[in-house]
Structure 1
Protein backbone atom coordinates (compact mmCIF):
# COMPACT_ATOMS: atom_id res chain seq x y z
CA UNK A 1 0.00 0.00 0.00
CA UNK A 2 1.24 3.49 -0.88
CA UNK A 3 2.70 5.37 2.13
CA UNK A 4 0.28 7.99 3.41
CA UNK A 5 -2.76 6.25 1.93
CA UNK A 6 -4.35 5.26 5.24
CA UNK A 7 -3.62 8.69 6.71
CA UNK A 8 -5.34 10.30 3.74
CA UNK A 9 -8.39 8.04 4.10
CA UNK A 10 -8.58 8.72 7.85
CA UNK A 11 -8.37 12.47 7.38
CA UNK A 12 -10.99 12.60 4.62
CA UNK A 13 -13.34 10.13 6.30
CA UNK A 14 -13.49 12.27 9.45
CA UNK A 15 -14.44 15.34 7.41
CA UNK A 16 -17.54 13.83 5.79
CA UNK A 17 -21.08 14.37 7.05
CA UNK A 18 -23.37 11.65 5.77
CA UNK A 19 -27.09 12.27 5.26
CA UNK A 20 -30.06 10.09 6.16
CA UNK A 21 -29.92 7.04 8.41
CA UNK A 22 -26.72 5.17 9.24
CA UNK A 23 -26.83 3.02 6.10
CA UNK A 24 -27.39 5.98 3.78
CA UNK A 25 -24.70 7.90 5.65
CA UNK A 26 -22.16 5.12 5.05
CA UNK A 27 -23.08 5.03 1.36
CA UNK A 28 -22.68 8.81 1.02
CA UNK A 29 -19.31 8.80 2.77
CA UNK A 30 -18.01 6.08 0.46
CA UNK A 31 -19.19 8.10 -2.52
CA UNK A 32 -17.33 11.19 -1.30
CA UNK A 33 -14.22 9.13 -0.55
CA UNK A 34 -14.20 7.64 -4.05
CA UNK A 35 -14.12 11.13 -5.58
CA UNK A 36 -11.30 12.25 -3.28
CA UNK A 37 -9.29 9.10 -3.94
CA UNK A 38 -9.41 9.77 -7.68
CA UNK A 39 -7.84 13.20 -7.06
CA UNK A 40 -5.27 11.68 -4.66
CA UNK A 41 -4.35 9.00 -7.20
CA UNK A 42 -3.75 11.64 -9.89
CA UNK A 43 -1.62 13.78 -7.57
CA UNK A 44 0.48 10.88 -6.25
CA UNK A 45 0.91 8.72 -9.33
CA UNK A 46 0.25 11.24 -12.10
CA UNK A 47 -0.11 9.90 -15.63
CA UNK A 48 1.48 6.44 -15.68
CA UNK A 49 2.07 6.42 -19.44
CA UNK A 50 3.85 9.80 -19.32
CA UNK A 51 5.98 8.72 -16.36
CA UNK A 52 6.85 5.48 -18.14
CA UNK A 53 8.06 7.33 -21.25
CA UNK A 54 10.17 9.74 -19.18
CA UNK A 55 11.81 6.91 -17.23
CA UNK A 56 12.61 5.06 -20.46
CA UNK A 57 14.27 8.20 -21.83
CA UNK A 58 16.35 8.62 -18.66
CA UNK A 59 17.43 4.97 -18.78
CA UNK A 60 18.37 5.34 -22.45
CA UNK A 61 20.60 8.33 -21.62
CA UNK A 62 22.35 6.33 -18.90
CA UNK A 63 22.76 3.36 -21.27
CA UNK A 64 24.48 5.59 -23.80
CA UNK A 65 26.89 6.82 -21.11
CA UNK A 66 27.52 3.22 -20.10
CA UNK A 67 28.35 2.29 -23.70
CA UNK A 68 30.93 5.10 -23.74
CA UNK A 69 32.45 3.91 -20.41
CA UNK A 70 31.61 7.16 -18.62
CA UNK A 71 28.95 5.81 -16.25
CA UNK A 72 29.81 6.84 -12.70
CA UNK A 73 28.76 5.03 -9.52
CA UNK A 74 26.02 7.57 -8.80
CA UNK A 75 24.66 7.02 -12.31
CA UNK A 76 24.63 3.26 -11.75
CA UNK A 77 22.60 3.71 -8.56
CA UNK A 78 20.29 6.09 -10.41
CA UNK A 79 19.83 3.53 -13.20
CA UNK A 80 18.88 0.82 -10.69
CA UNK A 81 16.31 3.16 -9.11
CA UNK A 82 14.84 3.97 -12.51
CA UNK A 83 14.54 0.26 -13.38
CA UNK A 84 12.75 -0.36 -10.07
CA UNK A 85 10.34 2.52 -10.77
CA UNK A 86 9.78 1.17 -14.29
CA UNK A 87 8.82 -2.27 -12.94
CA UNK A 88 6.35 -0.70 -10.51
CA UNK A 89 4.74 1.35 -13.26
CA UNK A 90 4.55 -1.69 -15.54
CA UNK A 91 2.78 -3.63 -12.80
CA UNK A 92 0.30 -0.80 -12.30
CA UNK A 93 -0.35 -0.55 -16.04
CA UNK A 94 -0.92 -4.32 -16.25
CA UNK A 95 -3.36 -4.09 -13.35
CA UNK A 96 -5.23 -1.27 -15.09
CA UNK A 97 -5.34 -3.31 -18.30
CA UNK A 98 -6.94 -6.22 -16.45
CA UNK A 99 -9.47 -3.88 -14.84
CA UNK A 100 -10.36 -2.36 -18.21
CA UNK A 101 -10.74 -5.82 -19.74
CA UNK A 102 -13.17 -6.69 -16.94
CA UNK A 103 -15.03 -3.43 -17.55
CA UNK A 104 -15.33 -4.24 -21.26
CA UNK A 105 -16.82 -7.60 -20.33
CA UNK A 106 -19.42 -5.83 -18.16
CA UNK A 107 -20.27 -3.55 -21.07
CA UNK A 108 -20.01 -5.88 -24.06
CA UNK A 109 -20.04 -9.42 -22.67
CA UNK A 110 -23.68 -10.06 -23.55
CA UNK A 111 -23.59 -8.52 -27.00
CA UNK A 112 -24.40 -10.47 -30.18
CA UNK A 113 -21.09 -12.37 -30.31
CA UNK A 114 -20.04 -15.94 -31.02
CA UNK A 115 -19.00 -16.46 -27.41
CA UNK A 116 -22.38 -15.23 -26.16
CA UNK A 117 -24.37 -17.53 -28.44
CA UNK A 118 -22.14 -20.52 -27.64
CA UNK A 119 -22.71 -19.95 -23.92
CA UNK A 120 -26.46 -19.61 -24.34
CA UNK A 121 -26.62 -22.74 -26.54
CA UNK A 122 -24.68 -24.80 -24.00
CA UNK A 123 -26.87 -23.59 -21.12
CA UNK A 124 -30.05 -24.29 -23.09
CA UNK A 125 -28.93 -27.86 -23.87
CA UNK A 126 -27.92 -28.44 -20.26
CA UNK A 127 -31.27 -27.25 -18.87
CA UNK A 128 -33.46 -28.83 -21.54
CA UNK A 129 -36.01 -31.42 -20.35
CA UNK A 130 -35.91 -34.22 -22.94
CA UNK A 131 -38.93 -36.13 -21.65
CA UNK A 132 -40.89 -37.41 -18.62
CA UNK A 133 -42.06 -40.71 -17.18
CA UNK A 134 -45.83 -41.09 -17.68
CA UNK A 135 -47.57 -44.25 -16.44
CA UNK A 136 -44.31 -46.16 -16.41
CA UNK A 137 -43.54 -45.18 -20.02
CA UNK A 138 -40.89 -42.70 -21.18
CA UNK A 139 -42.43 -39.95 -23.30
CA UNK A 140 -40.72 -37.16 -25.24
CA UNK A 141 -43.77 -35.59 -26.87
CA UNK A 142 -43.47 -31.83 -26.26
CA UNK A 143 -47.15 -31.41 -25.43
CA UNK A 144 -47.08 -34.26 -22.90
CA UNK A 145 -43.87 -32.93 -21.29
CA UNK A 146 -45.38 -29.46 -20.91
CA UNK A 147 -48.60 -30.88 -19.44
CA UNK A 148 -46.80 -33.09 -16.91
CA UNK A 149 -44.46 -30.29 -15.83
CA UNK A 150 -47.39 -27.94 -15.35
CA UNK A 151 -49.30 -30.59 -13.37
CA UNK A 152 -46.26 -31.21 -11.13
CA UNK A 153 -45.95 -27.60 -10.04
CA UNK A 154 -49.71 -27.12 -9.74
CA UNK A 155 -49.86 -30.10 -7.41
CA UNK A 156 -46.95 -28.86 -5.30
CA UNK A 157 -48.15 -25.29 -4.94
CA UNK A 158 -51.91 -25.73 -4.70
CA UNK A 159 -53.27 -23.76 -1.75
CA UNK A 160 -55.10 -25.67 1.00
CA UNK A 161 -57.19 -24.46 3.92
CA UNK A 162 -55.05 -25.95 6.67
CA UNK A 163 -51.53 -25.12 5.51
CA UNK A 164 -51.69 -22.87 2.44
CA UNK A 165 -49.20 -24.81 0.27
CA UNK A 166 -49.19 -28.54 -0.44
CA UNK A 167 -45.64 -29.93 -0.32
CA UNK A 168 -46.57 -33.60 0.10
CA UNK A 169 -44.47 -35.42 2.69
CA UNK A 170 -41.86 -32.66 3.04
CA UNK A 171 -41.13 -31.89 6.70
CA UNK A 172 -39.36 -28.73 7.80
CA UNK A 173 -36.67 -29.01 10.44
CA UNK A 174 -36.70 -26.44 13.24
CA UNK A 175 -33.75 -24.88 15.03
CA UNK A 176 -33.08 -25.43 18.75
CA UNK A 177 -34.24 -22.62 21.02
CA UNK A 178 -30.74 -21.32 21.83
CA UNK A 179 -29.78 -21.14 18.15
CA UNK A 180 -33.08 -19.41 17.34
CA UNK A 181 -32.27 -16.73 19.93
CA UNK A 182 -28.77 -16.27 18.46
CA UNK A 183 -30.37 -15.53 15.07
CA UNK A 184 -32.01 -12.37 16.44
CA UNK A 185 -29.29 -11.27 18.85
CA UNK A 186 -27.27 -8.13 18.12
CA UNK A 187 -24.29 -8.43 15.81
CA UNK A 188 -20.92 -8.08 17.49
CA UNK A 189 -17.92 -6.34 15.99
CA UNK A 190 -16.03 -9.66 16.02
CA UNK A 191 -18.79 -11.34 13.95
CA UNK A 192 -18.87 -8.55 11.37
CA UNK A 193 -15.07 -8.45 11.14
CA UNK A 194 -14.91 -12.22 10.68
CA UNK A 195 -17.47 -12.00 7.85
CA UNK A 196 -15.44 -9.27 6.13
CA UNK A 197 -12.19 -11.22 6.46
CA UNK A 198 -13.81 -14.35 4.97
CA UNK A 199 -14.74 -12.53 1.75
CA UNK A 200 -12.55 -12.59 -1.33
CA UNK A 201 -10.34 -9.49 -1.27
CA UNK A 202 -10.76 -8.59 -4.95
CA UNK A 203 -14.59 -8.67 -4.94
CA UNK A 204 -16.28 -5.28 -5.37
CA UNK A 205 -19.66 -3.89 -6.57
CA UNK A 206 -18.08 -2.76 -9.84
CA UNK A 207 -14.79 -2.13 -11.66
CA UNK A 208 -14.24 1.11 -9.69
CA UNK A 209 -15.90 0.02 -6.42
CA UNK A 210 -14.35 -0.59 -3.01
CA UNK A 211 -13.17 -4.17 -2.62
CA UNK A 212 -12.76 -6.09 0.62
CA UNK A 213 -8.97 -5.63 0.60
CA UNK A 214 -9.55 -1.89 0.96
CA UNK A 215 -12.11 -2.44 3.74
CA UNK A 216 -9.72 -4.74 5.65
CA UNK A 217 -6.78 -2.34 5.29
CA UNK A 218 -8.88 0.60 6.48
CA UNK A 219 -11.00 -1.31 9.01
CA UNK A 220 -9.89 0.85 11.94
CA UNK A 221 -11.23 3.92 10.10
CA UNK A 222 -14.44 2.40 8.73
CA UNK A 223 -15.54 -0.03 11.44
CA UNK A 224 -17.51 2.53 13.49
CA UNK A 225 -19.69 3.53 10.53
CA UNK A 226 -19.98 -0.07 9.31
CA UNK A 227 -21.21 -1.25 12.71
CA UNK A 228 -23.72 1.62 12.91
CA UNK A 229 -25.07 0.65 9.47
CA UNK A 230 -25.31 -3.04 10.42
CA UNK A 231 -27.06 -2.25 13.71
CA UNK A 232 -29.43 0.13 11.92
CA UNK A 233 -30.49 -2.63 9.55
CA UNK A 234 -30.96 -5.08 12.43
CA UNK A 235 -33.18 -2.63 14.29
CA UNK A 236 -35.32 -1.48 11.35
CA UNK A 237 -35.03 -4.32 8.83
CA UNK A 238 -34.89 -1.69 6.06
CA UNK A 239 -32.20 -1.18 3.41
CA UNK A 240 -32.57 2.26 1.77
CA UNK A 241 -33.02 2.46 -1.96
CA UNK A 242 -29.71 2.60 -3.79
CA UNK A 243 -27.87 0.36 -1.32
CA UNK A 244 -26.93 -3.25 -1.96
CA UNK A 245 -29.71 -5.78 -1.36
CA UNK A 246 -30.25 -9.49 -2.04
CA UNK A 247 -33.30 -11.75 -2.24
CA UNK A 248 -33.02 -15.26 -0.81
CA UNK A 249 -35.49 -18.02 -1.63
CA UNK A 250 -35.65 -21.11 0.60
CA UNK A 251 -36.66 -24.32 -1.21
CA UNK A 252 -36.78 -27.71 0.58
CA UNK A 253 -34.12 -30.21 -0.53
CA UNK A 254 -36.67 -33.02 -0.93
CA UNK A 255 -38.67 -30.92 -3.36
CA UNK A 256 -35.57 -30.07 -5.40
CA UNK A 257 -34.57 -33.72 -5.58
CA UNK A 258 -38.03 -34.71 -6.83
CA UNK A 259 -37.96 -32.04 -9.54
CA UNK A 260 -34.41 -33.08 -10.50
CA UNK A 261 -35.46 -36.73 -10.88
CA UNK A 262 -38.40 -35.75 -13.09
CA UNK A 263 -36.18 -33.55 -15.28
CA UNK A 264 -33.48 -36.23 -15.63
CA UNK A 265 -35.85 -39.02 -16.70
Structure 2
Protein backbone atom coordinates (compact mmCIF):
# COMPACT_ATOMS: atom_id res chain seq x y z
CA UNK A 1 0.00 0.00 0.00
CA UNK A 2 2.79 2.42 0.93
CA UNK A 3 4.68 1.78 -2.31
CA UNK A 4 1.54 2.21 -4.45
CA UNK A 5 0.60 5.47 -2.74
CA UNK A 6 4.18 6.76 -2.87
CA UNK A 7 4.45 6.13 -6.60
CA UNK A 8 1.06 7.75 -7.25
CA UNK A 9 2.11 11.11 -5.79
CA UNK A 10 3.29 13.71 -8.32
CA UNK A 11 6.95 14.71 -8.37
CA UNK A 12 7.43 18.48 -8.52
CA UNK A 13 10.41 20.68 -7.78
CA UNK A 14 13.73 19.43 -6.54
CA UNK A 15 14.10 16.04 -4.90
CA UNK A 16 14.23 17.27 -1.30
CA UNK A 17 11.03 19.31 -1.67
CA UNK A 18 9.36 16.43 -3.49
CA UNK A 19 10.44 13.99 -0.76
CA UNK A 20 9.03 16.26 1.96
CA UNK A 21 5.73 16.72 0.13
CA UNK A 22 5.41 12.99 -0.53
CA UNK A 23 5.94 12.26 3.17
CA UNK A 24 3.24 14.77 4.06
CA UNK A 25 0.78 13.23 1.57
CA UNK A 26 1.69 9.71 2.71
CA UNK A 27 1.03 10.62 6.32
CA UNK A 28 -2.52 11.74 5.52
CA UNK A 29 -3.17 8.57 3.46
CA UNK A 30 -1.81 6.39 6.28
CA UNK A 31 -4.15 8.07 8.76
CA UNK A 32 -7.15 7.22 6.56
CA UNK A 33 -5.88 3.66 6.05
CA UNK A 34 -5.29 3.25 9.79
CA UNK A 35 -8.84 4.36 10.58
CA UNK A 36 -10.27 1.99 7.95
CA UNK A 37 -8.21 -1.03 9.04
CA UNK A 38 -8.00 -0.58 12.81
CA UNK A 39 -10.93 1.71 13.48
CA UNK A 40 -11.03 3.89 16.57
CA UNK A 41 -9.15 2.02 19.30
CA UNK A 42 -10.84 3.94 22.12
CA UNK A 43 -14.32 3.17 20.80
CA UNK A 44 -13.36 -0.48 20.30
CA UNK A 45 -12.06 -0.68 23.87
CA UNK A 46 -15.30 0.74 25.27
CA UNK A 47 -17.31 -1.72 23.17
CA UNK A 48 -15.25 -4.70 24.40
CA UNK A 49 -15.49 -3.54 28.02
CA UNK A 50 -19.27 -3.17 27.72
CA UNK A 51 -19.58 -6.70 26.31
CA UNK A 52 -17.35 -8.06 29.08
CA UNK A 53 -19.39 -6.25 31.72
CA UNK A 54 -22.60 -7.68 30.29
CA UNK A 55 -21.15 -11.21 30.35
CA UNK A 56 -19.86 -10.72 33.91
CA UNK A 57 -23.29 -9.54 35.07
CA UNK A 58 -24.94 -12.57 33.46
CA UNK A 59 -22.31 -14.82 35.06
CA UNK A 60 -23.11 -13.40 38.51
CA UNK A 61 -26.86 -13.91 38.03
CA UNK A 62 -27.02 -17.39 36.64
CA UNK A 63 -23.75 -18.49 35.12
CA UNK A 64 -22.59 -18.59 31.52
CA UNK A 65 -22.89 -21.27 28.89
CA UNK A 66 -19.69 -22.72 27.43
CA UNK A 67 -20.01 -20.63 24.24
CA UNK A 68 -20.37 -17.47 26.34
CA UNK A 69 -17.28 -18.39 28.38
CA UNK A 70 -15.32 -18.88 25.17
CA UNK A 71 -16.64 -15.55 23.91
CA UNK A 72 -15.51 -13.90 27.17
CA UNK A 73 -12.00 -15.36 26.74
CA UNK A 74 -11.86 -14.11 23.14
CA UNK A 75 -13.02 -10.64 24.25
CA UNK A 76 -10.36 -10.56 26.97
CA UNK A 77 -7.72 -11.47 24.42
CA UNK A 78 -8.96 -8.75 22.04
CA UNK A 79 -8.91 -6.26 24.92
CA UNK A 80 -5.23 -7.05 25.60
CA UNK A 81 -4.40 -6.63 21.88
CA UNK A 82 -6.32 -3.36 21.77
CA UNK A 83 -4.49 -2.07 24.87
CA UNK A 84 -1.13 -2.95 23.30
CA UNK A 85 -2.07 -1.03 20.16
CA UNK A 86 -3.22 1.94 22.27
CA UNK A 87 0.03 1.90 24.23
CA UNK A 88 2.05 1.83 21.01
CA UNK A 89 -0.01 4.70 19.62
CA UNK A 90 0.46 6.75 22.78
CA UNK A 91 4.25 6.15 22.67
CA UNK A 92 4.34 7.31 19.05
CA UNK A 93 2.29 10.41 19.85
CA UNK A 94 4.49 11.21 22.86
CA UNK A 95 7.63 10.87 20.74
CA UNK A 96 6.13 13.10 18.04
CA UNK A 97 5.05 15.66 20.64
CA UNK A 98 8.49 15.68 22.23
CA UNK A 99 10.07 16.05 18.81
CA UNK A 100 7.90 19.07 18.02
CA UNK A 101 8.16 20.86 21.37
CA UNK A 102 11.42 19.42 22.67
CA UNK A 103 12.49 19.27 26.26
CA UNK A 104 11.71 22.78 27.50
CA UNK A 105 14.20 22.59 30.39
CA UNK A 106 17.03 21.70 28.03
CA UNK A 107 16.06 24.46 25.62
CA UNK A 108 16.01 27.05 28.43
CA UNK A 109 19.41 25.94 29.75
CA UNK A 110 20.98 26.02 26.30
CA UNK A 111 19.57 29.49 25.61
CA UNK A 112 20.90 30.72 28.95
CA UNK A 113 24.37 29.30 28.23
CA UNK A 114 24.37 30.86 24.77
CA UNK A 115 23.55 34.34 26.06
CA UNK A 116 25.97 34.08 28.98
CA UNK A 117 28.81 33.11 26.65
CA UNK A 118 27.85 35.75 24.11
CA UNK A 119 27.56 38.70 26.49
CA UNK A 120 30.15 37.85 29.13
CA UNK A 121 32.40 40.87 29.73
CA UNK A 122 36.14 40.47 29.37
CA UNK A 123 38.88 42.85 30.42
CA UNK A 124 41.03 42.44 27.30
CA UNK A 125 38.98 43.41 24.28
CA UNK A 126 41.98 43.66 21.99
CA UNK A 127 42.48 40.81 19.58
CA UNK A 128 45.93 40.15 18.19
CA UNK A 129 46.54 37.93 15.23
CA UNK A 130 50.24 38.54 14.76
CA UNK A 131 51.50 36.33 11.94
CA UNK A 132 48.65 33.86 12.28
CA UNK A 133 48.03 32.00 9.05
CA UNK A 134 44.51 30.83 8.37
CA UNK A 135 43.95 27.65 6.40
CA UNK A 136 41.99 28.04 3.19
CA UNK A 137 39.97 25.55 1.24
CA UNK A 138 41.23 24.18 -2.04
CA UNK A 139 39.12 24.67 -5.15
CA UNK A 140 38.16 20.97 -4.99
CA UNK A 141 37.02 21.34 -1.36
CA UNK A 142 34.98 24.43 -2.25
CA UNK A 143 33.28 22.61 -5.12
CA UNK A 144 32.55 19.67 -2.80
CA UNK A 145 30.62 21.98 -0.45
CA UNK A 146 28.09 22.89 -3.12
CA UNK A 147 27.99 19.60 -5.06
CA UNK A 148 24.86 17.46 -5.01
CA UNK A 149 24.64 14.29 -2.94
CA UNK A 150 25.04 10.89 -4.50
CA UNK A 151 22.55 8.13 -3.81
CA UNK A 152 25.29 6.19 -2.00
CA UNK A 153 26.04 9.14 0.31
CA UNK A 154 22.38 9.51 1.22
CA UNK A 155 21.96 5.75 1.75
CA UNK A 156 25.07 5.62 3.95
CA UNK A 157 23.77 8.53 6.03
CA UNK A 158 20.34 6.89 6.48
CA UNK A 159 21.85 3.53 7.45
CA UNK A 160 24.14 5.19 10.01
CA UNK A 161 21.21 6.77 11.86
CA UNK A 162 19.43 5.02 14.71
CA UNK A 163 16.29 3.39 13.27
CA UNK A 164 13.69 4.81 15.64
CA UNK A 165 14.80 8.42 15.08
CA UNK A 166 12.77 10.63 12.79
CA UNK A 167 14.47 13.11 10.43
CA UNK A 168 11.44 15.38 10.35
CA UNK A 169 8.13 16.29 11.94
CA UNK A 170 6.08 13.92 9.77
CA UNK A 171 6.73 10.93 12.04
CA UNK A 172 8.49 8.67 9.53
CA UNK A 173 11.57 7.23 11.18
CA UNK A 174 14.73 5.83 9.59
CA UNK A 175 13.41 2.24 9.84
CA UNK A 176 10.54 3.29 7.55
CA UNK A 177 12.97 4.92 5.10
CA UNK A 178 15.20 1.81 5.09
CA UNK A 179 12.29 -0.58 4.47
CA UNK A 180 10.93 1.69 1.72
CA UNK A 181 14.34 2.48 0.21
CA UNK A 182 13.65 0.76 -3.13
CA UNK A 183 11.01 3.33 -4.09
CA UNK A 184 11.84 6.25 -1.74
CA UNK A 185 15.46 6.64 -2.89
CA UNK A 186 14.49 8.41 -6.10
TM range (shorter): 0.5 to 0.7
Question: 1:61-103: CA deviations, max 9, x gaps?
Answer: 444566615223x852x44443333223222322333444452
Decide which structure has greater helix share. 2
Residues 1:148 and 2:123 aligned together: yes
Which sections of structure 2, spanning at least 5 residues, go unmatched?
none
Q: Where do residues 9-88 of structure 1 align in structure 2 (5 Å cutoff)?
A: 9-63=2-56, 68-72=63-67, 75-76=69-70, 78-88=71-81
Per-residue deviation, 1:213: 1.9
**TM-score, normalization: structure 1?**
0.50
State whether residues 3 and 183 of structure 2, in contact with CA within 8 Å, keep that contact through their aligned partners in structure 1.
yes
Structure 1 residue 148: Cα displacement: 3.4
Offset, 1:203:
2.0
* Higher alpha-carbon Rg: 1
Q: 1:75 to 1:104 in 2, by over 3 A?
A: same
Consecutive unaligned residues in structure 1, runs of 5 or more: 1-7, 111-115, 130-144, 157-165, 226-265
1:86-97 aligned within 5 A: 86-97=79-90
Q: Calculate the aligned-residue CA RMSD, in Å.
A: 4.3
Give how far 1:18 is off. 1.8
CA displacement 1:37-67 (0-9 Å, x = unmatched): 1111111121110011112223334445666
- Closer/same/farther in 2, CA of residues 105 and 193 from structure 1, 3 Å limit: closer
Q: C-alpha offsets along residues 130-171 of structure 1, whole Å, 9 cap, x if unaligned?
A: xxxxxxxxxxxxxxx8243633xxx26xxxxxxxxx486677
SS in 1 for 2:76: helix
Give, in whole Å, the separation in 1 of the partners of 2:17 and 2:110. Answer: 42
Match of 1:217? Answer: 179
Output the CA distance in 1 between the equivalents of 2:103 and 2:66: 52
Cα distance change, pair 221–89 in 1 and its aligned pair in 2 (3 A): farther
How many Å separate the matches in 2 of 1:221 and 1:167?
Answer: 56
